[in-house]
């Protein structure tokens, strides 16, 4: 039996360098949707970009850009090129939870002994 591909529209957390007024933007959490994923597929094919599993950062950054435009977090005039330049971080909140859980499981390091 062939492997089944499981895709879901991820929730992404983004941090941008600044908004259009030059103000720092706090982290935003965005829900991507099917239209964002379809836009990725069409754009990827048009530009001959690698598939999402070979370029996961580009894929996630693109989905975040598409979701930010769709939800009006950014104006539709913000191009993909501008978004790439201003986007400081894109991550999955699930990844951050995994990192925090891993950190919690580490023993506390002892400080230097008395000197």
- Residue 36: the pLDDT is 96
All residues at 6 or more sequence positions from 94 whose CB lies less than 8 Å from its CB, including other chains: 10, 11
| pTM > 0.75 | no
Whether the pLDDT of residue 5 is over 60: the answer is no
Distances, alpha carbon 38 to alpha carbons 11, 34, 42, 59, in Å: 16, 6, 6, 12
User: For residues 27 and 67, what is the distance between their CA atoms, to the nearest angstrom?
Assistant: 14
The residue with greater pLDDT, 15 or 65, is: 65
Task: Give the integer Cα–Cα distance in Å for 49 and 42.
Answer: 10
Q: Token pair of 106, please?
A: 């580490």
Highest average pLDDT, of 1-10, 45-54, 105-114, comes from: 45-54
pLDDT at 1: 45
- The helix/strand/coil state of 60 is helix
The string of pLDDT tens digits covering residues 72-96 is 988 999 999 999 888 888 998 865 5
Residue 15 pLDDT: 87
Residue found by looking up tokens 């836009």 in the block: 39
Looking up tokens 């062939």, which residue turns up?
2
Whose tokens are 């908004």? That residue is 19
């Amino acid at each position: 039996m062939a492997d089944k591909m499981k895709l879901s529209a991820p929730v992404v957390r983004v941090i941008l360098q600044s908004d259009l007024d030059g103000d720092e933007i706090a982290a935003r959490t965005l829900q991507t949707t099917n239209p964002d994923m379809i836009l990725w597929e069409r754009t990827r094919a048009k530009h001959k970009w690698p598939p999402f599993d070979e370029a996961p950062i580009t894929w996630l950054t693109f989905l975040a850009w598409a979701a930010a435009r769709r939800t009006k977090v950014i104006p539709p005039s913000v191009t993909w090129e501008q978004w790439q330049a201003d986007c400081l971080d894109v991550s999955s909140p699930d990844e951050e939870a995994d990192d925090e859980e891993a950190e919690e499981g580490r023993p506390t390091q002892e400080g230097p002994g008395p000197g």
